[in-house]
Amino acid sequence: MRILHLSDFHLRGDGGLSFRVVDTRECLETAARHLLALERKPDALVLTGDLADSGDARAYEMLRDALSPLSLPIYAVPGNHDRRDRMRDLLGAWCPADPAVAPYLCSTVEDGPVRLILLDTMSPGSHSGHLPDLVGDWLERTLAARPGVPTLLFMHHPPFVTGMGAMDEPFENVDRFAAILRRAPWVRLCCGHMHRPIVTQWAGCLALTAPAVSMQIDLDLSPEGGDTFRMETPGYLLHHWDGETLNAHVCQIPCAPTFSGPHPFVGSVNPVEG
């Protein structure tokens, strides 16, 4: 089983440059051409948030139009730059949601040898990650229902500290989240938000972040680090289950990066839903 994990498109529906620098529509089109050309198609594609730069509807339409020709199951969770109401309305089946945890877009995919759990960690208007009690209760029940089954848990915000101070904001209910995962060591935590690949061990589980389809955060391990980006090679993660081993491969999207930067993150918002 092969699951592609893409993150952080930061699309603008008005044709403008995200953060005044990045042509994110071109980044999307480059990624879509690469995925369409793959000799072996994945079994599913998971998008871990910041699909839009400021939650505008046209950005989700652009994403839908670019990736729908892949003709494979696509699942998406919101990031802090998204609007879950517009994702739900415009992306439809990409955003399945268990009504027990509404309005959060949380769900499971149970039809393969690897279980996929989609967790919504977004709070409108906030940049940081959140695990409200309703979502925590749902996650606890969901993991307990199928103990020991290989599981990929997809979410936008990593709950662990990365060393890039500007991005290491407090994560709501992080202690409870850690306690839940310590009881489920068969889970692999798959996040976005950091715009670069990171691998660590957290709460007894392997945890990863995906590179961005758009810009990559400048690796600055200081209290101020994480607030600038460079136009490095975009990428994604490929999670591969061969029946015994679950590997995660960091893959690049062929293009001609300029490696310009560092550039500041300016000109976008973490939207509040209407």
Q: Where are the domains of the chain?
A: 2-264
User: What is the CB-side half-sphere exposure of residue 82 using CA atoms within 13 A?
Assistant: 32
**96, pLDDT greater than 80:** yes
Cβ 227 vs Cβ 168: under 8 Å:
no
Q: Record the tokens describing residue 186, joined without a space.
A: 């068969």
Which residues pair with residue 27 across a beta bridge?
Answer: none
Q: Please name the residue ranges forming H helices in 54-158.
A: 57-67, 84-91, 133-145
Q: What share of the chain is helix, strand, coil (3-state, %, to 5)?
A: 25, 25, 50
- Average pLDDT on 156-164 reads 98
**193, pLDDT greater than 90:** yes
> What's the DSSP call for residue 188?
E
CA distance 268 to 122: 16
- Average pLDDT on 26-32 reads 98
Cβ 97 vs Cβ 104: under 8 Å:
yes
- Average pLDDT on 72-95 reads 97
The CATH architecture one would assign to domain 2-264 is 4-Layer Sandwich (3.60)
- Average pLDDT on 63-91 reads 98
**Percent of the chain at pLDDT exceeding 90:** 98
The string of pLDDT tens digits covering residues 111-127 is: 999 999 999 999 999 99
**Percent of the chain at pLDDT exceeding 70:** 100
**274, pLDDT greater than 90:** no
pLDDT on residue 273? 84
